[in-house]
Structure 1
Amino acid sequence: MTTLTHGTSAARQPTARHRTPTRTGRRTPTSALLSKTVVNGLLVLAACYTLMPVSWLLIAATKNHRDLFATSGFALGDMNLLTNLRHLFTFDDGIYLRWFANSILYSVVGSAACSLLCVATGYAFDKYDFKGKEKLFGLVLGGVLVPSTVIQLPMYLLATKAGVVNTYWALLLPALVNPFGVYLARVFSEGYVPNEVLEAAHVDGAGELRTFARIGLPMLAPGFMTIFLFSFTAGWNNFFGALVMLNDDHLYPVNLGLFMWNSVTQQQPEYYALVITGSLVAVLPLIAAFVCLQRFWRSGLTAGAVK
């Protein structure tokens, strides 16, 4: 019995040695190339779908009023872009330039003040311990859940009591409040500002305000620019707030002014060219902001994701 057992084992061993190796989960070069092609194709389709309205806007801005309705949507016109721009900037004593300047004021000044306030608040929530800190921070986070359109009527009533309706302050003051910006600022403060650096500054005799201005704020520059970009986009696209708060057309932002022009196109079709060309010009500041500040935005988003 023993001999048979050993013989059987010896007979099985070569079979085990010559067993064919199993395939691993590695992809072949052909499958990897196919997957990259599919992914890149989907990205190209998504980019084309995203850029289609902007491309149509750019092409339509080259047409006059007749070609706008007589030609295909993506067919080039008679290259009247410069003529349309000249007509846009001179129409009604240059009211569009006034609207554009108002949008710059509401967006840039309001976003800069909002970003600074959010960074300071988030820094305080991160670095200081005080009674009820987490409950207060939870209350701030609760503000993220409230849609801005819901609070427009209470804000209008408050602005009426304060006497700032139909003034620049009617849009600048609400722009200072950004609960989501406070949350982002706290996340950035936890990831960018080490406590050891602040303690070293305190040992050297720096006060709290000087420590924040000289050490905390420069370290939070990516977070500041990220919050600024979000606030700038929200301020530039703030249509409903301006519609509720403003009555004087000289205080309108550019989006509300274009809406007013678009509302009379049925009676006066010549306004179509003004609306289209004005919409194209109104997109340019957002594109410029993201192109110029994208490096801060990318680093800020990466830091928040790692944290």
Structure 2
Amino acid sequence: MTTTATRTRADDEPGGGPARAGAPAQRTARRRPRPGRVLMAGFLTVAACYFLLPVYWLAVASTKSTDRLFGSFGLTLSDPQWLHNISRLFSYDSGIYLRWAVNSLLYAGVGAVLATLLAGAAGFALATYRFRGREAVFKGILAGVLLPTTALALPLYLLFGKLGLTDTYWSVLLPSLVSPFGAYLCRIYAESAVPTTLLEAARVDGAGEGRIFFTLVLRIMSPALVTVLLFQFVHIWNNYFLPLVMLADDRKYPITLGLATWRTAADRHPELYQLTIGGAFVSVVPLAVAMLVLQRYWRTGLTEGGVKE
């Protein structure tokens, strides 16, 4: 009896007998990646390379001179002159690129902030208040999401022409204040995230609707609002067609339109090729910084509003 008990305990100890003989093989089988995961990882790697390759080429090309730009392989560094190219970019034509950058920050920054506030107010109102025609208004907002902005450029030009606002900052800034997608997202998020009991308690305590919105609702809806802010900032920053239709003075151009004019004139002035590439690379930096800083709120705003209790 004693011998049998001793053998049983020895078999149960790590490395002591047949009970542990198949454990390493089982762990190896568990750690072996599944074919689906390997395929997904390979697909994501290819997709990442596809999206990052143009950015890498832009970063490399911005360090080259005009001669090296066309006389060397595009993906290899050769005699980098990044600081020299950047100084030329910022000093060319009395610093017109800096003026374009300030204009883009004005259009995208102010436009995105105000559009986010308007979208948050509209979404909260559509989710909380009951009034006649509410669903019709919401369906109109959905139609605005599906309508391409380029289709509105000519009607907006004719309207602003009647008001005398063409070739002004307002002609680009005012249309940027409307975000149908932002209002849609804010309504979906407010329906699931803003508790009605909290609003009723605030009203019982004597808070007005404006104070409720700016002190309570904005804080609760911050993930969705940051998402709208990021989307609207990127949309306005990359907007090209609306400034092309509205603006005639090159001192009011955003970066997108300014670089397009340089690219058109590069056939007559070859040095503008390098300036255009350098300007495109610099213009990507604010978008990359905004995406990296706000990506946590962006993911939360996209997913949390779609979950209902």
CA distance in 2, matches of 1:133, 1:39: 43
Residue in structure 2 matched with residue 103 of structure 1 by the alignment? 104
Give the conservation status (yes or no) of the 8 Å contact 1:60–1:77. Answer: no
By how many angstroms is 1:30 displaced?
7.0
* Partner AA of 1:267 in structure 2: R
Structure 2: unaligned runs, 5 residues or longer: 1-28
Query: Would you say 1:150 and 2:151 are equivalent positions?
Result: yes
Q: 1:119-172 deviations in whole A, cap 9, x for unaligned?
A: 001100111011111112112211122111111110001111111111110011
By how many angstroms is 1:306 displaced?
2.1
Q: TM-score w.r.t. structure 2 length? A: 0.88
Residue in structure 1 matched with residue 72 of structure 2 by the alignment? 71
By how many angstroms is 1:56 displaced?
0.3
Residue in structure 2 matched with residue 50 of structure 1 by the alignment? 51
* Partner AA of 2:75 in structure 1: F
Give the conservation status (yes or no) of the 8 Å contact 2:119–2:182. Answer: yes
* Root-mean-square deviation over aligned CA pairs: 1.2
Residue in structure 1 matched with residue 185 of structure 2 by the alignment? 184
How many matched pairs?
280
CA distance in 2, matches of 1:30, 1:140: 50
Structure 1: unaligned runs, 5 residues or longer: 1-27
Q: What is the correspondence of 1:1-307 to structure 2 with a 5 Å cutoff?
A: 29=30, 32-307=33-308
Percent identity at matched positions? 47
Give the conservation status (yes or no) of the 8 Å contact 1:64–1:77. Answer: no
Q: 1:71-116 deviations in whole A, cap 9, x for unaligned?
A: 0111212110000000000001100000001000000100100000
Give the conservation status (yes or no) of the 8 Å contact 1:123–1:185. Answer: yes
Q: TM-score w.r.t. structure 1 length? A: 0.89
CA distance in 1, matches of 2:306, 2:189: 10
- Give the ranges of 4+ consecutive aligned residues of structure 1 lying more than 4 Å apart after TM superposition: none
CA distance in 1, matches of 2:141, 2:303: 24
By how many angstroms is 1:31 displaced?
6.3
CA distance in 2, matches of 1:59, 1:178: 36
* Partner AA of 2:257 in structure 1: L
More displaced 10-residue stretch of structure 1: 151-160 or 37-46: 37-46
By how many angstroms is 1:218 displaced?
0.9
Give the conservation status (yes or no) of the 8 Å contact 2:63–2:85. Answer: yes
| Matched position secondary structure for 1:151 | helix
